[in-house]
Chain A
Amino acid sequence: MTALWKNNRGLLIITAIVVVLMAGLLQSLEPKVWMSIMLSGATLAALYFLVASGLSLIFGLMDVLNFAHGVLFVLGAYVGLSTFMNPRLLFNTLPFFFVLVAAITVAQHFGRIFWRRIGTERGRRVATAALLLLAAAVLFLALRGFPIRALNAFNITAVGGAVTTAEAQEPMATMLRRVTMVLLAGLPIGLLLAPKQTKDELPLRPVWQTLLIAGVAVVIGYALLLVRDPGETFMLAMSTDVRFVLAIILGTVAGALAGVGIETALIRPFYGNPVTQLVLTLGLSIAGIDLIEAIWGEEGNPPMSPPSLFAANCRSDSLLGWFSEHCQSIDVLGRAFPTYRLFIIVVGILVFIAVGVLLRRTRIGMIIRAGVQDSEMVQALGINVRRVFTFVFALGSALAAMGGVIAAPYLGVFPAMGGIFQLQAFIAVVIGGMGSYVGAAVGTIILGLARAFGDHFVAAGINVPFLDTVIKGSPAIARASTVLIMAIVLLVKPAGIFGKKE
């Protein structure tokens, strides 16, 4: 009993406080109102959690405070939105990524021979600069004048009105030239990423595997381009549910890839120098949001329509009823609640369980947990902890991007949403204790509930006991409440609820 108390003191105290608070609120509110506020809070909490969990894991394992996490959230949201509503963008851009991956894979494999032939250090330096310039020049020539904004002008909210697919797309010959040039630009990039030390004689991937990966990627890339017109028609004719699943998958993959890219290019060269890493992610967040604005526009999109599973214009009596009717709202104690938001909550819980199982029950999870404790020791035990770093960074980025996709039908998609969610995730992580996975979950639940109840009291006011007045807050007070909670928690426990002592 005492051991249980000692080990879980933070959790137990917080649970007790939350339960008492909720019970008190249940006394003063009608149950149906209380329930719907709780569910709204849980919806927000689930979205915050998807951002905060990655942030917390990344910080805990590699001491990187990732200021670019919000950018990944927005990136996921926009990629998901494009998959769901504007597939022509995918058919006209994805080929670039596939051929680039193919070229990089091949060049990286055979790059060792290239570097071995250049004997001197000076020669290698010159070759590096030359390859970098070559890649930049070819990429620039390949992508110059690419009509990205026209491809994105798919709905009436876009500035200048919608552009039809026939007008937006470039002729097939131009696109083939562009894709082929990107393929060529991938070769010097692959060479740059190839191992350069001649003494490094680690076994490589077998040649047939490299060729297989590259071949499949090239075929997919060109095939996507060639079928772009029937492909768009086909995708738009698909059921919205399938498209939504595709959107989640593509958004998440985009987030993971971006995460790998960020970790490789900006974080990995600067381990042991946390301020530099932090400042670099900060610079990336400035540039990244602007890149997203340059591609998708600054104006943002209204909430996209939820998939048809959550779209029928009716109100189900129960979950069982929803299974057959697919209504957009569901009856909760006599009050309607949107089913899509329940879906967000379920996703949040599933992700919490899945990542929890990954951390607790798998080998890599064990390494991650050990790395959070002492990454140097893990390295000393002969585990390539850097590779685990990349994995965790990709995982965190993927979770944030997935949060962006599932937030899109609820909140809409706009470039500033990343900053908003990132700040809330920071606050949640500080409340829960940095580096603690459960802490991130608890912190986000507290924040979500605080926001939901705060919004309710802004709308309805608080009955002051023993007085007949009703105090109404302003929206600002609901927004500032999260900061106040954080200040209180830090005053009581400077390392957060689940944080380790310094």
Chain B
Amino acid sequence: MDPKLTKIFCDFQVEPRQYLCADICHVIVLREKRSRHIKFFGYTIIAITALIAIVPTSISLVHQLGQSGFGQYASLVVSDAGALTGYWKQFAVTLAESIPGVSLALVLGIILILGWSARNAIQQTKPLSTIRRYA
């Protein structure tokens, strides 16, 4: 690298206007805040929808558990555990078969979505400390 050319090019530099850095940070903060507002709104909608959806799906799950006899089978564990020891494999299969799989998966899925969207919504409310003066 030619040191003379380096000096010439370095002397060639001009200073940007005084508040350019501040303006850039300000614009980024505004954009980030807007993006966070939109995300917060979106995640909240999803969380509320999940919360509403969990009611009928839970009711349906409970109803199906009652119809399938899961409750009666499960109560045997408490009331007559000794009698089950010899037949625990068959009992386990019968118990598993009585679980309404689809309804259970639906309820668990909705709970996961509720947790995920609620967590993300809360994350959008954190302050933007890395651009401290403008956050």
Are A and B subunits of one complex?
A: no
